[in-house]
Chain A
Amino acid sequence: MEKTVNQKAWFLVLPVLLLVAFSAVIPLMTVVNYSVQDTFGNNQFYWAGLEWFKELLESERLHNALGRQIAFSMIILAIEVPLGIFVALNMPKKGFWASVCLVLMALPLLIPWNVVGTIWQIFGRVDIGLLGYTLDALGIAYNYTQDSFAAWATVVVMDVWHWTSLVALLAYAGLQSIPDAYYQAAKIDQASRWKVFRYIELPKMQGVLLIAILLRFMDSFMIYTEPFVVTGGGPGNATTFLSIDLVKMALGQFDLGPAAAFSLMYFLVILLISWVFYTVMTNLDKRDGV
């Protein structure tokens, strides 16, 4: 659609600008302020310059948390994206059962994140949870509060349970937009099921899949509540991801300086990825001529 140039449109945007400035810019300024100062209590602050940033960049604690975070995001992407596509391909195309599938699949997406944690905390317990009990009965040693592998497996399966439907729903929306004529042409050419997928469905899903991957990457990169409820970051530090570590530092130990420097670097990473996301998306919009 052709848009008119109209500078007065700024007035329509003004309320949003003011509100988001209040809830984003002011807090961010306090963070910047803390990140360059040191305190010995009593609200006495001293200029610390870039000391905190230097200290954090060399801190093993941050490196470990970042490593765990990247590993977690990569693992869940590697599982959720193919599984989501596979589920979308198997969903009914229309009618009553399509509605049933949509509603049931969306259910985990609407559950409060701490309840997601609670559900899996209970489900995985050896004494009262179905999963834990079954694994135990099969003779598999499983205890997510003590064994770091079990903790990781629980957190990963929980995330797959929670968010695979998002990928599936997006892929499904992409599949729905493919005209029937494409399938008929493939049928005439006697294309195999794999070739239909590779040369018709996958290219047509490209746009939505990109959104799905980036959304899942973002949200898994800032995951806090679910693993916090299930494992509390433990056993030891095994499932302490970036957000959990940051909250520990900021609200638990009240180390304002390092926490603020940590926040800024965390935010910059997210900003960079958002920018990539935005550029790719606007280019796709342009190409499709929406």
Chain B
Amino acid sequence: MADASLNKTASRGIALPKIKGNVVVMVLYLTFLLLPIYWLLNMSLKTNSEILGALTLWPNSLTFANYATILTDQTWYMGYVNSLIYVVLNTVISIAVALPAAYAFSRYTFMGDKHLFFWLLTNRMAPPAVFALPFFQLYSSVGLFDTHIAVALAHCLFNVPLAVWIMEGFMRGVPKEIDETAYIDGYSFGRFFVKIFMPLIASGIGVAAFFCFMFSWVELLLSRTLTSVAAKPISAIMTRTAGAAGQDWGVLAAAGVLTIVPGALVIYFVRNYIAKGFALGRV
């Protein structure tokens, strides 16, 4: 009883006096984060003459023409389609190969497991710039240059280690007794894994898939190097137009806003796992 009342007064005593300071800090920080994004959104809804004219804080003549340009011009919207194709391919491949490996790392010790785990990590830390040229030559020589699968495989370089590490983190939280009971009950490894184990770590798989999707989506250097026309991602199309003289700022801004959409749509569902995902499952 005494404990409970102490608890109340204590938390009230800490929380109340500094609420105002907290709010001010967070409002300032979030404004700093959102202002540049707002500016992009603002520009994407303006006509070019308004953009290049006097500075206006919100669109005076609201227009969706920039978005219409992108969604009706094939050279633009195919960029999104190409990006989505290789990103989804990469996510599926990464999760499929990483699931059994993560299970092995979380449950068993075997010869060289620590070294292997570390070696995977080094690939996540490898600068893409180092791999750009050899990838270009490797995929050209096997006839995969300018295909979606080439980019998907190249992105496996950092996404497979990421998926293994994140899922291993989630799997460690599942008690081993569950595995043992299932085997005693006569489950084969395959049936146990699909029917019992995968539902248990569903959130882990979801988080790993989200991060594979995201890191493949935000990457530019490798996807630009490995494609020319048929599989050119949206990010490469954007940099190309950014270099041109007589820049169409409105369309560029609209294209930028559209690339933020996929991440923004699912962010709510993974909000509690974002730290874990970025830290490779180590939080």
Contact = CB atoms under 8 A, between A and B. Distances in A.
Interface in A1-19: 1-10, 12-13, 15-17, 19
Contact of B36 (A4, A123, A281): A123
A275 interface: yes
A23 interface: yes
Nearest to A98: B271
Interface in A56-109: 86-87, 90-92, 99, 101-109
Interface residues on A, range: 35 or more
B282 A27 contact: no
A10 B26 CA distance: 48
B125 A16 contact: no
A263 B134 CA distance: 11
A24 interface: yes
Contacts of A170: 275, 278-279, 283
A172 interface: yes
Main secondary structure of the interface of A (DSSP, over half): helix
Nearest to A250: B133
Interface in A106-122: 106-115, 118-122
B91 to A, nearest CB: 14
Interface string B82-125: 00000000000100111011011111111101001010111101
Interface string B249-269: 100110010011001100110
Interface string A142-179: 00000000000000000001000110011011100000
A31 B26 contact: no
B59 interface: no
Contacts of A91: 22, 26
A270 B274 contact: no
Interface string B111-155: 101001010111101111111111111100000000000000110
B283 A173 contact: yes
Q: Which 5 residue pairs across A and B have the least CB separation, nearest first?
A: A110-B263, A27-B134, A222-B127, A12-B104, A243-B129
